[in-house]
């Protein structure tokens, strides 16, 4: 009886893994649609709720919902299910918040027309995304911890990437001046927005990438791959759709260099503070990582120029040295904090 | 020596990255010319003299004859009106954005600053835009007017491209300045009793 029940338990864990995968990939789709939607608003200023980026986003929500339902349905059959309870809880709460955002978003568009980046439905959407993606990530990492297979390391990337993108969405909402509409002006105060961007982006980059490295036991390639996928998503949704900026993809691609260098330092060099060195390098490049829209935050305070889509890159490059010098120290300190916090997070997930 | 070799290589790579990101690419991209879109329009009015109670049609063919632009704005002013009423009937618009009726005393952009400097309107306007504004993109805007008073009925028309990079980014390039300190082409129809 014991022998017969073993394959059933393993199968149920694999089904739970499938649920977690769908949760994370669904949120990844939402973030891709979200980033594309921002570009669509900047370029075309659409007047209708119905748009392709919104379609991509809500397909992602549907995928995450299916994933959460699968995880919920199979969870009670899993052996040693206690360690996965937090994954399921976060997933269920997240998906409820996420689904709740849909009708609120539709109502908001219908009542107030075009909405800004920071609005109650968008906040609900982003918090739902973060909770669901954290739920998915915990399930995926727990599977990796138990299975210890070579291929399961990639689950860490699938788990962390949507959290990175969703959290970036939160920071962008709190720092970009994209929220002044006919009915409400939710634009953040410019200096506060600058401080939010300068501290939160490097913290997040460091937290995600150093956590990826820790969870994979410092496997070389994990930081480069996670960061490379982030660059690919941002490049294809925020840079390439703007015809006047498509050439600047070459500049954006050079961000692979600090990723690979940090990856190498952390994985291959046996230095006592290798992770902090890597985190510092990664954090200091945040202005380049978040090209192009991050420029709006710094332009508000440093230049105050009127920006239209074809001027984005020129104003960005006009500011780049000034922003790099002003933000270097605080960005490195924030990245150190992210590195420190990543140890707490990865230890907690591994020892659930 | 062996211990310091990898970190030296890493430092060199980071140095190369910083030089590329902060010096080489910015100078390269900043040396490129910013696109210079140029608006143009042609206006056809069905009758230059009508009787009170009759209507006349206005067809505006607006286009971008320059390079890629972000926004093509067409603005039509009615100096005899405080707001757009049933006197104006819209027949067709090819613009990809919905037209806006702007009443007198509304804050609008001025001096070709796309909203950075604002003034109050002195009369009713219709504003319509196309985003983005590709080269050779052309748009029709057609409406009918049934004046309610006799005399000279005037219509002011102007087109602006964003980014507004030179004197060619607006049309007309000279003539009468409207209350927004922007050039307008004046069209008039005599309404007889």
Q: B20 and A258 in contact by Cβ < 8 A?
A: no
Is A296's pLDDT higher than 60?
A: yes
* φ, ψ of residue B127 in degrees (nearest 5): -120, 135
Neighboring chain B residues of A260 at a CB cutoff of 8 Å: 13
Quote the CA–CA distance of A52 and A110 in Å, as a whole number: 18
Using DSSP bridges, classify how beta strands B100-102 and B124-130 pair: parallel, antiparallel or unpaired: antiparallel
Q: B21 and A321 in contact by Cβ < 8 A?
A: no
> Which chain B residue shows the shortest CA-CA distance from A287?
B21
Gap from B90 CA to chain A (nearest CA, Å): 20
The SS3 of residue A242 is coil
Give the nearest partner residue to A310 out of B30, B70, B115, using CB atoms: B70
pLDDT given at position A150: 75
Q: A47 and B97 in contact by Cβ < 8 A?
A: yes
Give the nearest partner residue to A244 out of B22, B68, B97, using CB atoms: B68
Give the nearest partner residue to B35 out of A265, A310, A318, using CB atoms: A310
Pick from A252-261, A316-325, B2-11, B63-72: least confident: B2-11
* φ, ψ of residue A15 in degrees (nearest 5): -65, -40
Task: Say whether residue B17 is in contact with chain A using an 8 A CB cutoff.
Answer: yes
Is A5's pLDDT higher than 60?
A: no
Is A323's pLDDT higher than 60?
A: yes
Smallest Cα–Cα separation from B92: which of B60, B53, B45, B133?
Answer: B60
Q: Which residue has the higher pLDDT, A214 or A7?
A: A214
Tokens at A224, concatenated? 């480069």
DSSP letter for each residue of A110-161: HHHSS--SSSHHHHHHHHHHHHHHHHHHHHHHHHHHHH--STTHHHHHHHHH
Smallest Cα–Cα separation from A97: which of A132, A55, A50?
Answer: A132
Tokens at B14, concatenated? 């980071």
Give A46's pLDDT tier (boundaries 50, 70, 90): low
Over chain A, what is the mean pLDDT?
91
pLDDT given at position B2: 66
Q: B20 and A254 in contact by Cβ < 8 A?
A: yes
Which residues are bridge partners to B51 per DSSP?
B192
pLDDT given at position A291: 96
Q: B70 and A269 in contact by Cβ < 8 A?
A: no
Q: A321 and B176 in contact (C-beta within 8 Å)?
A: no
Helix (H) or strand (E) holding A282: helix A274-284
> Which chain A residue shows the shortest CA-CA distance from B32?
A314
**% of chain A exceeding 70 in pLDDT:** 96
Query: Burial of B99 by CB count in 10 Å (0-12 exposed, 13-18 middle, 19+ buried)?
Result: middle
From first to last of its 193 residues, chain B has per-residue pLDDT tens of 666 788 889 999 999 999 999 999 999 999 988 889 999 999 999 999 999 999 999 999 999 999 999 999 999 999 999 999 999 999 999 999 989 999 999 999 999 987 778 899 999 999 999 999 999 999 999 999 999 999 999 999 999 999 998 999 999 999 999 999 999 999 999 999 9
Task: Say whether residue B5 is in contact with chain A using an 8 A CB cutoff.
Answer: no
Smallest Cα–Cα separation from A306: which of B107, B99, B179, B112?
Answer: B112
Q: A308 and B71 in contact by Cβ < 8 A?
A: yes
Residue with tokens 């009708």: A103
pLDDT given at position A40: 86
Task: Say whether residue B4 is in contact with chain A using an 8 A CB cutoff.
Answer: no
Is A148's pLDDT higher than 90?
A: no
Give A6's pLDDT tier (boundaries 50, 70, 90): very low
Q: A168 and A202 in contact (C-beta within 8 Å)?
A: no
Is A4's pLDDT higher than 90?
A: no
The SS3 of residue B28 is helix
pLDDT given at position B1: 60
Radius of gyration of chain B measured on its C-alpha atoms: 24
Quote the CA–CA distance of A263 and A270 in Å, as a whole number: 12
Q: B153 and B83 in contact (C-beta within 8 Å)?
A: no
pLDDT given at position A2: 41
Is A47's pLDDT higher than 70?
A: no
Q: A315 and A303 in contact (C-beta within 8 Å)?
A: yes
Query: Burial code of A313-333, b = ≥16 C-beta within 10 A, e = fewer?
Result: bbbbbbbbeebbebbbeebbe
> Which chain A residue shows the shortest CA-CA distance from B12?
A261
Quote the CA–CA distance of A317 and A80 in Å, as a whole number: 53
Smallest Cα–Cα separation from A239: which of A38, A3, A14?
Answer: A38
Q: Kindly tell me the sign of the dihedral angle through the C-alpha atoms of A145, A150, A152, A156.
A: positive
Q: In the structure, how many helices (H) and strands (E) does chain A have?
A: 13, 0
Residue with tokens 């505006």: B60
Q: A74 and A15 in contact (C-beta within 8 Å)?
A: yes
Give the CA dihedral B130, B133, B137, B138, nearest 10 degrees: 30
Which residues are bridge partners to B156 per DSSP?
B77, B186
Q: B13 and A261 in contact by Cβ < 8 A?
A: yes
Cα distances from A245 to residues A251, A295, A313, B93, B167, in angstroms, run 11, 14, 7, 30, 24
Q: A310 and B113 in contact by Cβ < 8 A?
A: no
Give A48's pLDDT tier (boundaries 50, 70, 90): low
Gap from B109 CA to chain A (nearest CA, Å): 12
Q: A314 and B29 in contact by Cβ < 8 A?
A: yes
Quote the CA–CA distance of A328 and A331 in Å, as a whole number: 5
């Amino acid at each position: 009886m014991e022998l017969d029940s073993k394959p059933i338990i393993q199968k149920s864990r694999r089904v739970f893994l499938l649920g977690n995968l769908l949760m994370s990939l669904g949120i990844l789709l939402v973030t891709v649609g979200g980033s594309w939607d921002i570009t669509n608003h900047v370029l075309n200023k659409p007047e209708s709720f119905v748009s392709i980026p919104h379609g991509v986003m809500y397909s992602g929500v549907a995928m995450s919902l299916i994933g959460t339902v699968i995880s919920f349905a199979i969870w009670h059959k899993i052996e040693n299910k206690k360690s996965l309870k937090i994954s399921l809880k976060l997933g269920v709460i997240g998906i409820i918040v996420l689904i709740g955002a849909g009708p609120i978003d539709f109502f908001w568009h219908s009542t107030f027309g075009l909405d800004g980046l920071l609005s109650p439905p968008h906040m609900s959407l982003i918090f739902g995304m973060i909770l669901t993606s954290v739920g998915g990530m915990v399930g995926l990492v727990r599977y990796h911890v138990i299975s210890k297979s070579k291929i399961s390391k990639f689950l860490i990337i699938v788990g962390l990437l949507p959290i990175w993108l969703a959290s970036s969405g939160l920071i962008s909402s709190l720092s970009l001046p994209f929220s002044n509409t006919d009915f409400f002006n939710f634009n953040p105060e410019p200096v506060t927005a600058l401080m939010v961007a300068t501290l939160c982006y490097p913290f997040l980059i460091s937290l995600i990438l150093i956590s990826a490295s820790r969870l994979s036991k410092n496997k070389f390639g994990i930081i480069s791959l996670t960061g490379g996928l982030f660059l690919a998503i941002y490049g294809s949704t925020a840079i390439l759709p703007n015809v006047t900026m498509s050439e600047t993809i070459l500049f954006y691609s050079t961000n692979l260099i600090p990723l690979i260098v940090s990856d190498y330092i952390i994985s291959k060099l046996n230095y006592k503070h290798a992770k902090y060195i890597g985190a510092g390098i990664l954090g200091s490049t945040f202005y380049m990582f978040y090209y192009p829209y991050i420029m709006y935050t710094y332009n508000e305070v440093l230049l105050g120029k009127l920006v239209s889509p074809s001027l984005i890159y020129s104003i960005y490059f006009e500011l780049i040295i000034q922003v790099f010098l002003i933000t270097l120290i605080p960005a490195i300190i924030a990245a150190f904090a992210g590195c420190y916090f990543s140890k707490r997070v990865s230890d907690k997930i591994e020892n659930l | 020596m062996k211990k310091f070799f990898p970190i030296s290589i890493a430092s060199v790579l980071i140095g190369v990255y910083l030089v590329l990101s902060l010096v080489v690419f910015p100078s390269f991209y900043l040396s490129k010319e910013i696109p210079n879109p140029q608006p143009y329009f042609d206006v056809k009015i069905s009758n230059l003299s009508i009787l009170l109670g009759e209507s006349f049609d206005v067809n505006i063919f607006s286009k971008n004859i320059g390079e890629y632009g972000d926004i093509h704005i067409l603005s039509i002013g009615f100096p005899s009106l405080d707001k757009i009423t049933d006197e104006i009937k819209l027949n067709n618009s090819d613009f990809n954005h919905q037209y806006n009726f702007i009443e007198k005393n509304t804050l609008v952009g001025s001096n070709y600053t796309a909203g950075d400097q604002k003034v109050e309107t002195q009369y009713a306007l219709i504003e319509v835009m196309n985003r983005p504004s590709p080269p050779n993109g052309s748009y029709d805007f057609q409406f009918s007017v049934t004046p309610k008073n006799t005399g000279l009925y005037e219509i002011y028309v102007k087109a602006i491209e964003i980014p507004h990079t030179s004197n060619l980014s607006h049309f007309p390039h000279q003539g009468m300045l409207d209350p927004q300190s922007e050039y307008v082409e004046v069209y008039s129809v005599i309404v007889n009793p």
